[in-house]
């Protein structure tokens, strides 16, 4: 079944970095098998409590388990009905763009359109040589590889030559995108203006993983993205598609929340043994407290960053046991997000786009949201002989208002 369910103007969800970390309160470390099963349970529960999105990171080193996000997300797709499945970074630098095109188009089909992805360079330097790449070329890889991915999803037959991989002649990526519409792409970054520029150029979304640095840092990146989005003719700065990360831990009162979360914070592999919990909470969006404190702080994100389309929360890392994570989800879905939906919808301008969904992208491409059977070009390639370089212009622009223009520019 295709994604035809009405969606809210703004999406709320959770993401996981897939870490396997010792619980500092009892010294127990779960196995890989247990963490993988727990993640599937968490995703199902996220749908049950009314969240919109579940996203999974990509890592290829301990203490993380998620080396194959599409495999896990496809299984979760079979366990859920409405949940939109995304990534909390697909490594555009070290993954072959041909394989990304194939894997995520397949996930798009098996999930009925309930998929998108965040592309990024990741934060693990050694991953580059593991996959035969040079970290000094990381930014150039991100730019060239997405250029190819963008074309593979919009052209039935691709002739291509670049710097970092062998040329393609008459190549057709299969399966073709569902309904002829590629998955929506977010470009994720915590520090790189060139990635904000890339997102703006293609008219794609920009995801600022707003969990580590002060708001002023992300304000600059998002402001640049909005300005350049308008520069490339995709709309006004306010119509750019923005997503934000976030991090919370909740209890009925703030004192209990701080007491319960402190040992996990102090020993977390990402920021443990660094700034105090209080200092980190002051400097970043990490909010540890009552549901009302979470609501107050995240309702204020709109004043800082403007109207945006997706808010994601990290709630399951640092050794937190499954029982605690499920309790956090109950509070998030039952007490926090319903209020945030109302608060962030107040006085939202009518011309601010809704959060991207497959049904919305289909309607944008064809004028209505009815499912389509993609019709390949008559001289579609067989990956052995060359064929027509472009397909129907309406399909070429599907998923991004800039698709046709970008191809004319050689993008």
Answer yes or no: are the C-beta atoms of 28 and 22 closer than 8 Å: yes
**Coil vs helix vs strand at 140:** helix
Q: pLDDT of 180-216, one tens digit each? A: 999 999 999 877 889 999 999 999 999 998 777 778 8
Whole-angstrom distance, CA of residue 195 vs CA of residue 187? 7
Of 219, 247, 205, which Cα lies nearest the Cα of 87? 205
Whole-angstrom distance, CA of residue 2 vs CA of residue 274? 46
Residue 376 lies in a domain: yes
Residue 371 lies in a domain: yes
Cβ neighbourhood burial of 92 (10 Å; 0-12, 13-18, 19+):
buried
pLDDT of 390: 31
Residue listed under structure tokens 């002060």: 214
pLDDT of 28: 94
Whole-angstrom distance, CA of residue 345 vs CA of residue 8? 10
Query: Which stretches of the chain score pLDDT less than 70?
Result: 1-7, 122-125, 128, 131, 272, 373-411
Residue span of the structural domain in which 86 resides: 11-408
How many domains is the chain partitioned into structurally? 1
Q: Are strands 205-208 and 158-160 parallel, antiparallel or unpaired?
A: unpaired
Residue listed under structure tokens 């520069």: 231
Residue 99 lies in a domain: yes
Answer yes or no: are the C-beta atoms of 257 and 315 closer than 8 Å: no
pLDDT of 183: 97
Question: Which residues, in sequence order, are bridge partners of residue 168?
Answer: 160
Helix (H) or strand (E) holding 218: helix 215-231
Residue 299 lies in a domain: yes
pLDDT of 125: 66
Whole-angstrom distance, CA of residue 265 vs CA of residue 277? 7
**Coil vs helix vs strand at 313:** strand
pLDDT of 380: 55
Residue 330 lies in a domain: yes
The distance of Cα 221 from the centroid of its chain, to the nearest Å, equals 17
Residue 324 lies in a domain: yes
Residue 2 lies in a domain: no
pLDDT of 61: 79
pLDDT of 131: 67
CATH of the domain at 316: 3.20.20.30
Q: pLDDT of 258-274, one tens digit each? A: 999 999 999 887 776 78
Residue 390 lies in a domain: yes
pLDDT of 66: 82
pLDDT of 11: 97
């Amino acid at each position: 079944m295709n994604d035809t369910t009405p969606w809210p103007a703004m999406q709320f969800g959770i993401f996981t970095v897939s870490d396997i970390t010792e619980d500092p309160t009892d010294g127990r470390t779960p196995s890989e098998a247990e963490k993988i099963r727990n993640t599937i349970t968490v995703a199902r529960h996220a749908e049950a409590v009314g969240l919109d999105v579940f996203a999974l990171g990509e890592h290829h080193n301990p203490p993380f388990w998620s080396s194959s996000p599409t495999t896990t997300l496809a299984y979760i797709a079979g366990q859920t009905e409405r949940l939109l499945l995304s990534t909390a970074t697909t490594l555009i630098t070290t993954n072959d763009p041909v394989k990304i095109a194939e894997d995520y188009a397949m996930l798009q089909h098996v999930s009925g359109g309930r998929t998108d992805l965040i592309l990024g360079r990741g934060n693990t330097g050694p991953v580059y040589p593991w996959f035969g790449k040079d970290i000094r070329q990381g930014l150039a890889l991100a730019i060239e590889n997405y250029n190819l991915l963008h074309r593979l999803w919009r052209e039935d037959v691709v002739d291509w030559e670049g710097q970092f991989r062998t040329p393609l002649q008459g190549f057709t990526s299969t399966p073709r995108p569902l309904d002829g519409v590629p998955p929506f792409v977010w470009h994720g970054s915590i520090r790189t203006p060139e990635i904000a520029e890339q997102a703006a150029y293609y008219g794609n979304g920009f995801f600022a993983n707003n969990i580590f640095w002060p708001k002023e840092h992300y304000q600059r990146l998002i402001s640049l993205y909005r300005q350049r989005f308008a520069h490339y003719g995709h709309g006004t700065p306010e119509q750019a598609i923005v997503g934000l990360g976030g991090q919370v831990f909740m209890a009925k009162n703030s004192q209990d929340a701080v007491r319960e979360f402190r040992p996990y914070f102090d020993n977390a592999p990402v920021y443990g043994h660094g700034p105090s919990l209080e200092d980190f909470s002051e400097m970043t969006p990490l909010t540890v407290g009552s549901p009302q404190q979470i609501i107050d702080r995240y309702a204020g994100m709109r004043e800082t960053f403007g109207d945006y389309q997706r808010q994601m929360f990290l709630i399951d890392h640092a050794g937190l046991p499954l029982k605690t994570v499920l309790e956090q989800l109950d509070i998030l879905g039952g007490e926090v997000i319903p209020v945030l939906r109302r608060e962030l919808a107040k006085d939202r301008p009518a011309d601010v786009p809704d959060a991207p969904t497959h049904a919305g992208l289909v309607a944008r491409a064809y004028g209505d949201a009815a499912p389509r059977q993609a019709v390949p070009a008559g001289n579609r390639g067989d990956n052995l002989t060359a064929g027509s370089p472009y397909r129907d212009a309406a399909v070429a622009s599907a998923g991004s208002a800039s698709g046709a223009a970008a191809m004319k520019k050689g993008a």
